[in-house]
Amino acid sequence: MYQHGVKQTLKAGSAVFGASAIFLLISPGLFLDLLDLESNDQMVWSMRMIAITLIALTGNMLSVSRFGSETSVVFSARVMVVSAAALGTLTLLIPAEFGWFTIAYAAVGFLFSVAYLSALLRK
């Protein structure tokens, strides 16, 4: 069943988003520093708000990968192809100097986009 690869990618993606969410909740200032962005009260608040959204996305991705119908699994993977590529692109458009973390974070987005696409194309 080809959707097994899609489900595995959704599970891996949920783990990465979950880890990012925890990182953003615990240490948003460090995350901002790694991206070479200004760390102030507004940005820290924004990072924590994003963390809560990532927690919701993590739960949804895990739920779909474990309990979703074939239609919902495929739909979620199609959404994630675009979303992961957009995350990589947006990271590269950061209004700051590129550092190793920025490049690595963008690469993770692009790699997940390719992984979802590859899993969808495998039949």
For 50-95, write each residue's pLDDT tens digit: 999 999 999 999 999 999 999 999 999 999 999 999 999 999 999 9
> What local confidence, expressed as pLDDT, does residue 51 receive?
97
> What local confidence, expressed as pLDDT, does residue 123 receive?
61
Decide: pTM greater than 0.85: yes
Gap between the Cα atoms of 46 and 59, Å rounded: 20
Residue 1 has pLDDT above 60, yes or no: no
